[in-house]
């Protein structure tokens, strides 16, 4: 059995996972990230022991532990940067291996989710695939020849920070024009707010939120776009334009067999998928250019736990 841990800014979710990626038992606790690194490490240890107890297996049956983090780890399992948790250069792998005495593997959350999609999701059987998780930001995960690809220093596949244009607000990273400032849920909310503030035209979306911008979310905007609201449609069209540019760039550079779209925005399903496919097709570098398939991710919320378990499986084999 394997343990997969999805370490998020809000919750730490852990699961006992078999070699085929099936979750056998799940448990989740709040992260309370303000407590700092040591307290969270202690909680992770406790969580793993509780998980084994509850499922009724001995710790010796666990072969490895994988952790997906909302940040960047180097190849030695040190977390180089994790903005949400305010972690910089912490030796997560070493610290956890000291407790557990079994191999621990640490990688970016979108990277492990991509591995989950490769092992038992939409990328299954593919030679290469890129997963984009369109949520608060944009996460990127790359699988090449059956293994995750994070680059020489482990800082690659950060596709959300690829610069693709000029935007009216800067990215958290300090740059202007990052992919995630155009095509994440944060991006579409900010742009819709801007449109709502600037327009005097009638809008169903405007009526709905009644000036309370905290009511804006990506689902609402997509729903109103599908109902034909002009303002919401304008915001969705802009997101699709830049999603097309970003995916076009991935094809131009990496040319993967599959590009999978996950994260909250992907809940817009076939409506989103059809618009994106059309946009990417329109923007090919040349007409008869063969390109990979664009699909929706399959594993949704559990991709993080399954993928984390799978980096453990890949690490120990």
Asked if 84 touches its own copies (CB under 8 A), the answer is no
Asked if 140 touches its own copies (CB under 8 A), the answer is yes
Best CA proximity match to 207, nearest among 219, 196, 223: 196
Among 22, 50, 170, 255, binds its own copies (CB under 8 A): 255
Asked if 137 touches its own copies (CB under 8 A), the answer is no
Asked if 238 touches its own copies (CB under 8 A), the answer is no
Taking CB under 8 A as the binding criterion, the range among 15-23, 32-40, 163-171, 260-268 that sits at the site for its own copies is 163-171
Among 69, 188, 232, 291, binds its own copies (CB under 8 A): 291
Tracing tokens 């059987």 back to the chain, one arrives at 125
Taking CB under 8 A as the binding criterion, the range among 17-25, 77-85, 213-221, 308-316 that sits at the site for its own copies is 77-85
Best CA proximity match to 165, nearest among 96, 246, 97: 246
Asked if 261 touches its own copies (CB under 8 A), the answer is no
Tell me how far apart the alpha carbons of residues 310 and 317 are, in angstroms, rounded to a whole number. 11
Asked if 156 touches its own copies (CB under 8 A), the answer is yes
Q: Which residue lies nearer to its own copies by CB, 173 or 220?
A: 173
Best CA proximity match to 79, nearest among 38, 107, 43, 98: 107
Best CA proximity match to 169, nearest among 189, 139, 199, 198: 189
Asked if 158 touches its own copies (CB under 8 A), the answer is yes
Closest separation between CB of residue 290 and its own copies, Å? 4
Tell me the DSSP string of 207-276: HHHTT-GGG--HHHHHHHHHTT-HHHHHHHHHHHHHHHHHHHHHHHHT--SEEEEESGGGGGHHHHHHHH
Asked if 28 touches its own copies (CB under 8 A), the answer is no
Tell me how far apart the alpha carbons of residues 256 and 250 are, in angstroms, rounded to a whole number. 8
Asked if 48 touches its own copies (CB under 8 A), the answer is no
Asked if 128 touches its own copies (CB under 8 A), the answer is yes
Structure tokens at 37: 């690194």
Among 30, 36, 151, 269, binds its own copies (CB under 8 A): 151
Structure tokens at 109: 């959350």
Among 164, 196, 236, 260, binds its own copies (CB under 8 A): 164
Q: Which residue lies nearer to its own copies by CB, 44 or 164?
A: 164
Among 103, 177, 264, 315, binds its own copies (CB under 8 A): 177
Asked if 81 touches its own copies (CB under 8 A), the answer is yes
Tell me how far apart the alpha carbons of residues 260 and 241 are, in angstroms, rounded to a whole number. 17
Tell me how far apart the alpha carbons of residues 15 and 313 are, in angstroms, rounded to a whole number. 14
Tracing tokens 């303000």 back to the chain, one arrives at 34
Tell me how far apart the alpha carbons of residues 31 and 36 are, in angstroms, rounded to a whole number. 10
Asked if 234 touches its own copies (CB under 8 A), the answer is no
Asked if 226 touches its own copies (CB under 8 A), the answer is no
Asked if 89 touches its own copies (CB under 8 A), the answer is yes
Q: Which residue lies nearer to its own copies by CB, 154 or 307?
A: 154
Question: Hey, is 131 helix, strand or coil?
Answer: strand
Residues of this chain that bind its own copies (CB under 8 A): 72, 74, 80-81, 83, 88-89, 127-128, 140, 142, 144, 150-159, 161-166, 173, 175, 177, 245, 248-257, 283, 285-286, 288-292
């Amino acid at each position: 059995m394997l343990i997969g841990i999805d370490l998020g800014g809000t919750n730490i979710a852990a699961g006992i996972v078999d070699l085929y990626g099936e979750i056998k038992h799940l448990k989740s606790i709040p992260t309370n990230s303000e407590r700092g690194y040591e307290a969270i490490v202690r909680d992770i240890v406790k969580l793993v022991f509780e998980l084994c107890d509850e499922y009724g297996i001995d710790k010796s049956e666990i072969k490895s532990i994988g952790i997906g983090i909302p940040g960047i780890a180097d190849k030695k399992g040190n977390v180089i940067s994790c903005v949400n948790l305010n972690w910089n250069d912490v030796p997560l792998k070493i610290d956890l291996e000291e407790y557990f005495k079994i191999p621990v593997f640490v990688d970016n959350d979108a990277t492990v989710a991509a591995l989950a999609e490769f092992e038992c999701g939409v990328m299954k059987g593919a030679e290469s695939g890129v997963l984009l998780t369109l949520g608060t930001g944009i996460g990127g995960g790359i699988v090449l020849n059956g293994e995750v690809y994070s680059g020489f220093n482990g800082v690659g596949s950060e596709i959300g920070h690829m610069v693709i244009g000029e935007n009216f607000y800067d990215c958290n990273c300090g740059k202007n024009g990052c992919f995630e400032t155009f095509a994440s849920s944060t991006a579409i909310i900010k742009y819709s707010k801007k449109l709502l503030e600037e327009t005097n035209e009638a809008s169903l979306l405007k009526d709905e939120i009644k000036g309370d911008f905290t009511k804006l979310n990506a689902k609402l905007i997509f729903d109103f776009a599908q109902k034909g609201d002009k303002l919401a449609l304008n915001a969705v069209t802009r997101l699709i334009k830049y999603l097309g540019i970003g995916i076009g760039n991935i094809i131009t550079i990496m040319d993967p067999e599959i590009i999978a779209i996950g994260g909250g925005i992907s809940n817009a399903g076939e409506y989103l998928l059809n618009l994106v496919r059309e946009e990417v097709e329109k923007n090919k570098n040349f007409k008869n250019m063969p390109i990979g398939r664009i699909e929706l991710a399959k594993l949704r919320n559990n991709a993080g736990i399954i993928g984390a378990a799978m980096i453990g499986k890949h690490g120990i084999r």
